Chains A and B, each alone.
Chain A
Amino acid sequence: MRRVAIIVIAMMLASLAVAAPLARAATLDPAGADSVVLHARHEGLDDFCAKPSRPLSTHARSLCPMAAGIPQCDAFVAACNDKPFDPDKLPRWNLGLGAALASLAGGVVWLLVAAVIGLIVVFVVSAIGRARKDSRLASSPEPKATVVPDPMAEALLAPSDAEALLARASEHALRGELDRAALLYLAAALRALDRRGAIRIARHRTNGEYVRACKDGEAAPQLRAIVRAVDRVQFGHEAPTREAIADVAARAAWIVRAAVVASLLLLLVGCTPKSHGPILQSDDPGGDDLFMAVLERQGADVARLGGSLASLPMPEHDEKGPLVVVDAARTLLEEETRMHLVRWVKAGGRLLIAGDVKSWPEDFGAKPHESSSSKLTFRFPDPENENENERVVDPADATFKATVAEPHGLDWNDELGASYVLAKNDEEVPYAAARAFERGVVVGLAGDDLLTNAGISVPPNAAAIVALIERYAHGRAIRVARPEDGISPPSSPLAALLGAGLGLPLAHAAFATALLMLAVGVRQARARREPPPQRRAWTEHVAATGSLYARAHLAPHALSAYARFVDGRLRARMPRTMTDPAVYLALRSRADAARCAEVWALATAARSADRPRGDELATLRELRTLYAAAMKTG
């Protein structure tokens, strides 16, 4: 029953998740757009009017001619009367400081690059060193296990699903194999917790360790109860009762199903429409927050694009893709982005592009046209006519008036195909037009004023732009590009570095790395006189110290010090019944006892203050050989 309930709840949630975007595909209402703008401003989206960011940006200042036409927008009007900011009047030291900071930043980047290279080299060299040091020990075989793993225990480590284990356990329980069922219930619970990351299954961990390490506070008591019951059966040889196994089954199912529900919820969260971030309030008169808010309040599925325009997925044949809105005055379109936009439109995409006609993709064939009138009239083609670029119906209710701040106009190159003029100013210069490109459509506006907070606030501009969007969105989702969406993403990390101007430092870093690797490689591959002895570190130390003493003519001291060391080590290992280290040395090294005694006598007789006789180093070498042999056999 519980399982059925979970499935029903999941289906309900899933249906809600699917229904959400459908509910948002509503028809826009141009007639009510201006009142929606006022409501949105009253509910908080009024910062651009009440407290605009000062000084105004160049873009915002270009909208000042419309300020007087916006109701209750005194602060914006006052900001427009501020004296414009003049960068040429900055003090000279300010410019010098900028240059100094730029040089400092460049230096820091170089230091970082050098540090990264240094780290890589250190890691590589130390790894090689460690590998060489441990190679001898690693060649020894690992001890073999004498415990024969039980096939049931293997179930824990096999990539079996917790639900499947639970089902197998239930089958065993039904057949009356309660001990096996108990183990499989435990395995299912552990598997589910492992999947959830609450524990980590390993062969060497005990059941108690799983309980103590369980990070899921709610599951830990359940797991503890299961472990106690299963341990009684496994190790206590108690006959399992049906009641006890039923209890274990319920607890294991609770743990496993909790994981399933968690996964389901995650899945549902993943299935819900992707949020492209909240529509934030803005104090910029040139921002597009109000434009998006109006569309959203009218029921449109509107959001930020959430990715680069250069990576827009190509629309499929029958796909009703989104209407993408690009304000070219704010979104700088790179060449690669422009090329992709053209391909995307030809493949069936719908693009509304506004402002700065010169920055549009050249393939669209639009050119700026001089104009001096800012009064616009929008006329739209018959929405029932499929060929929207050829059929024109001009009923009175399809006409909208608008006012913009700066007079702009555009010309479409008719050689590329027929276009339909959507808006003209009083001088009959086209301001907005639409054109079909193969399977897609481009709607162009000569200026972006109608998309801005200030522009859409001037009645009846909102009605005009909403009508335009309604005509070309057709219930589609609307995605508005951000300023940074015009930049194409790098094809690889290398391209990103090159794009950031780090090509030369990269080449230097690569060269330096190759040089260092070569140096390390040469050193590692250098021929050696003899293979490294077993206890290389110690013997090298002794050899180096001996060489130092020899150069300093301190051979008696070297022999004396080494003899004391060997004496101490031998006495530490000697049986208590033995008193003579020389005898022990001979026994262990299996060397001639007389020669051992002779060498030992020479070595122990040496004193640091003695004058060199000439045979000290030979004696030392012989003693070293004997000592190494003695230690090796032990």
Chain B
Amino acid sequence: MTPEEFTATFDRIRNEVSRAVVGQREVTEGLLVAMIARGHVLIEGAPGLGKTLMARALAAVSGCAFKRIQFTPDLMPSDITGSSVFERERGTFTFIPGPIFAQLVLADEINRAPAKTQSALLEAMQDRQVTVDGVSRAVPHPFVVIATQNPVESQGTYPLPEAQLDRFLMKLTAADPPAAEEQRIVRNHADGFDPSDLSPLRPVTSPAEIAAMQVYAQQVRIDDAVIAYIVDLTRRTREDRMIELGASPRASIALLKAAQVIAASEGRTFVTPDDVKPMVKPVFRHRVMLQPDAQLQGITPDERIDELIKSAPVPRAA
């Protein structure tokens, strides 16, 4: 794959998704970046902002096998992973795969299921395999989990444990659209747009091409100075006086991968600090835990990360 081909495919996917999803450009782009960076995404936002639609549109456009899991309080781990069923005729147990065995899995309202069920995703997300009855089975490639959740302040929710949160490459926040874009959304619906029917979207790529993009993005060159910049940013979250729990080395790796994809999408074969900066907040915001004092002062993780970015000098020389 050449840089031009990568950029063309990236733009094609982005433009096709934006036919169904109006606004939320940042979230859409984040989804695409995470997909190519072999990561998983957590989308948080109030109900009605198109979180599920975005995931479905990406699946439709990318041509990936898609499964949706609606998380509920009574959902069991086996409902996700699948289970072995006894066949009387053969007298043996046969494994019936669960919805996790898809290329693009939408874990809708993930925080509505208890921790036991949430953790059923852990192995699949980290090791890309599922172990049931002592047998490990690989999930298809590419494999991306897109989880959505409403803000934790809503009733009847179970906050995701830190270990689970760390498995997500980035957390994207769906914000209310500006007035002009909201008018476009309503106009589209008035003109007959049906969010449950995404058949007008055509697949503009294939799983094989996405796998090739993943391989290409991994080969994007990254200078030592930029790596030092990434590590510096991560370490600052650990040393900050207002942050109780900082980002882990896994966050540094996630930031590196995301920056590589951004650089490739710009048609470059190398990463600059300019590729790193816009990814810092999506990669860090769910990994840092603020001190109670900072929370009492109303400081948000995004605000604190902004301050850290401003305090970190940008490398300018090789």
Asked whether, in the complex, the Cβ of B229 is within 8 Å of the Cβ of A147, the reply is yes
For the complex, give the distance between the alpha carbons of A249 and B21 in Å. Answer: 44
Can you list 14 A-B contacts (CB < 8 A)? Answer: A143-B239, A143-B240, A146-B235, A147-B228, A147-B232, A153-B316, A156-B316, A206-B273, A206-B274, A207-B272, A231-B270, A237-B318, A537-B296, A576-B115
Task: Check B316 against A534 for contact (C-beta < 8 Å).
Answer: no
Question: Given A143-B311, A204-B313, do A179 and B293 touch, yes or no (CB 8 Å)?
Answer: no
Q: How far is the CA of A145 from the CA of B228 in the complex (A)?
A: 10
**B312 near A236: Cβ-Cβ < 8 Å:** no
Q: A206-B273, A207-B272, A235-B223 are in contact. Are A153 and B315 (CB under 8 A)?
A: yes
- Measured in the bound complex, the distance between the Cα atoms of B225 and A148 in whole Å is 9
Using known A-B contacts A145-B232, A147-B229, determine if residue A209 contacts B310 with beta carbons closer than 8 Å: no
What's the interface size class on A, roughly? 35 or more
For the complex, is B67 an interface residue (Cβ under 8 Å from A)? no
The yes or no answer to A73 lying at the interface (CB within 8 A) is no
Taking A235-B318, A237-B270 as known contacts, 16 extra A-B pairs with beta carbons closer than 8 A to each other, sorted by chain A number, are: A143-B235, A143-B311, A145-B313, A147-B312, A152-B316, A179-B318, A183-B316, A203-B313, A204-B313, A206-B272, A207-B316, A234-B272, A236-B221, A535-B292, A535-B296, A576-B161
Quick one: which of B225, B242, B274 contacts A209, CB cutoff 8 A?
A: B274
Residue from the set B115, B274, B296 with the largest chain A CB neighbour count within 10 Å:
B274
Residues of A near B315 (CB, < 8 A) are 147, 150, 153
Interface residue? B269 (CB, 8 A): yes
Interface string of A283-324 (1 = CB under 8 A from B): 000000000000000000000000000000000000000000
Q: Complex: how many Å from CA A170 to CA B293?
A: 53
Assembled-state Cα–Cα distance A179/B226 (Å): 17
Bound-state Cα–Cα, A142 to B241, Å: 8
Pair B228/A208 contact, Cβ less than 8 Å: no
Is B236 in contact with chain A by the CB < 8 A criterion?
yes
Chain B, residue nearest A151 (CB) = B317
In the bound complex, CA of A37 to CA of B223 (Å): 79
Q: How near does chain B come to A252, taking the closest CB pair, in angstroms?
A: 15
Q: Does B43 contact A (CB under 8 A)?
A: no
Instruction: Let me know if A631 is at the binding interface, CB within 8 A.
Output: yes
A575–chain B nearest beta-carbon distance, Å: 10
Q: A152–B314 Cα gap in the complex (Å)? A: 12
B253 at the interface (CB under 8 A from A): no
The one of B115, B310, B312 that contacts A145, using a Cβ cutoff of 8 Å? B312
From A143, A183, A206, A631, B314 is in contact (CB under 8 Å) with A206
Beta-carbon contact of B239 and A144 below 8 Å: yes
B22 close to chain A: CB less than 8 A = no
Contact B313 A237 (CB under 8 A): no
Cβ–Cβ contact A208 & B274, under 8 A: yes
Is A205 at the interface (CB under 8 A from chain B)? yes
Chain B 209-253 against A: per-residue CB contact (8 Å), 1 yes, 0 no?
A: 000000000000101011011011001100111100000000000
Q: Mark A208-224, 1 if CB is under 8 A from B, else 0.
A: 11000000000000000
Q: With both chains docked as a complex, state the minimum distance between the C-beta of B102 and any C-beta of chain A, in angstroms.
A: 28
A113 sits at the interface (CB 8 A): no
Please give the distance in Å from B215's CB to the nearest CB on chain A: 20
B314 touches A205 (CB 8 A): yes
C-alpha spacing A391/B310, complex, angstroms? 80
How far is the CB of A194 from the nearest CB of chain B, in Å? 15
Q: How far is the CB of B189 from chain A (nearest CB, A)?
A: 34
Interfacial residues, chain A to chain B (CB-CB below 8 A): 137, 140-150, 152-153, 156, 179, 183, 202-209, 231-237, 534-535, 537-538, 576, 631
Q: What residues of B have a CB within 8 angstroms of the CB of A231 in the complex?
A: 268, 270, 272
Q: Give Cα distance in the complex from A142 to B240, angstroms.
A: 7
Question: How many of chain B's residues touch chain A, expressed as a range?
Answer: 35 or more
B277 within 8 A of A: yes
Distance from A219 Cβ to chain B, minimum over Cβ atoms (Å): 19
| CA gap between A538 and B270 in the complex, in Å | 50
Return the chain A residue nearest B229 by Cβ.
A147
Contact between B310 and A204, CB atoms less than 8 A apart: yes
Q: Which one of B115, B241, B271 contacts A235 once the chains associate, using CB atoms below 8 Å?
A: B271
B309 at the interface (CB under 8 A from A): yes
> Which of B161, B292, B314 is in CB contact (< 8 Å) with A204?
B314
A149–B271 Cα distance when bound, in Å, is: 19
CA distance A146 to B316 in the complex (A): 15
CB pair A146–B231 under 8 Å, yes or no, is yes
Q: In the complex, which residue of chain A has the Cβ closest to the Cβ of B220?
A: A236
Please tell me if the beta carbons of A137 and B293 are within 8 angstroms of each other in the complex: yes
Contact residues, B119-136 vs A (CB, 8 A): none
A234 near B312 with CB under 8 A, answer no
The docked-state distance in angstroms from the alpha carbon of A343 to that of B188 is 83
Contacts of B268 in A (CB 8 A): 231, 236
- Taking the closest CB of chain A, its distance from the CB of B219, in whole angstroms, is 13
Q: List the B residue with the shortest CB-CB distance to A141.
A: B241
> Which one of A140, A152, A153 contacts B241 once the chains associate, using CB atoms below 8 Å?
A140
User: Which of B277, B296, B318 has the most chain A CB atoms inside 10 A of its CB?
Assistant: B318
Knowing A137-B241, A146-B228 touch, does A203 contact B318 (C-beta < 8 A)?
no
